[in-house]
Structure 1
């Protein structure tokens, strides 16, 4: 490649640095940026170079020069679009494309939208496409990596060889650092909120169906006074849907259900469970004898009417992405390692 093909004029380099400065300062349309003299002083270049750089950005619609007033931001959105192609956040996905999970897809969608609003492009790679060759093609452009619970152990073990990490709901033995920030779900608060809801029903006995070990909190479970039996389901998988799991469990427990409250840690398991009772003439919702721990914001949850206390995937994605962007845009030497704790919310039936 000849020198003429690789040479980049100084004013173009300056235009790139000005663009990054606008992004790092999070300036918006209409904000005052600076004066021509400020740019000369800040970057140590001549007024001629500054005028060329500003003219280039003005021609692209990014800046607007006002006589005797200085330089203002004209179109930050266009700058974001140009910049995202070199600001990738990699999102390795544990799930297969053929086995999509609604909660995680909603969380992923919110992550992608929130990253785009901050000038990054989220790049999800599903499990069947996850390989080192594909990642290496993007390596120079990756600013950060987002991993979920099942990816956390592998990512944290390689954190020194990776860009900064955001770990969503990682195992309890993983701690935040200058290279990794964490987003945890407050399962303890979810458990306490659920107990308060159940106590208002004054049940004689409780059967709790646990679909994920993360829901177990032995120090709190032992405090439940009215006696609680717990059943751990095998991991929910593609062989038996969550609704089918709920239907099977309902068939096994129906004959032992008198005066019993059912606390189920998955919404679709709860739907299948409730459906079998309804078919046999028992309406658990109307009798206020069922609660699910899941996402309270899904339309199907609202339509069925099951009380739900849990975590909204859209809020998780939006809040976690904003939290990670703040982390990335903090100078590495000033990062302290952050923890974002997501609080549970209740849908309308669970608020009564």
Structure 2
């Protein structure tokens, strides 16, 4: 889908239309003047050719008339020898006269404007001649406006291309940094040397990747919004041409389109800002301090004399054994069980 025109593009189209209109007016004026010049030239040329052809035809006719009289004279005199010669010359003069007469008719048949048409063309040419300087001025002014509008469009297009150019530049830089890191990792240098070389490159790579990701996200968002706006404008145009569509639906489309356009403007501003903002330089790694020189070992002190062993304390007297507890009294003898009751006698 094609995104809607920007203000700069619309201004350029309007300026170009005015320029074309001014140029067309100038061309018409110049054409009117040219037409009168051409018609006047044709009229003058025909008049001149007619005059010349007429003179030749008249001369040929006069010659023929003379030869005819001569021929008739010799007939009356019955001079056979001169009659034949006079007849031949008369016929040749007649052919010449017919030729010039045909040529005159051809010249007279040429179409040229009538006096009335020529006068009308002359008046238009006079009017055009007066207007041409002003029309040329308008054309020049319109051309200047077209050039100014074109510069704005070119600048706008350059801004549109700038993000893509920056993205391509960052992609190349990221690829180069990744390759440099790979070369460092695969080198035979010591680990501490690799780490010293790798740290600033990794920091720069992280910075480039972060900016690249941000630009790609904003650029993708703008493309999506462009497509959505184009689709909404098509729907709105269809709705405006359809009397069966409710007004609230059209209003909803207009509102949504306006919101999307505002969102697009913000995204474009964010993208421009993201492109222009400087990249934060990767922090330089702090230099590793040189190892401090090891101090010379201090002389070992002489061993201290061992202290005399402390006298062992006398053993504490053993406590007298506690008297054994008296035995618990035996339980009393249980009471005697009562004698069983006598069984009742069974009747015999």
Larger radius of gyration: 2
TM-score (norm 2): 0.19
Relative contact order, higher structure (CA 8 A, sep 6+): 2
Structure holding more strand per residue: 1
TM-score (norm 1): 0.19
Structure holding more helix per residue: 2
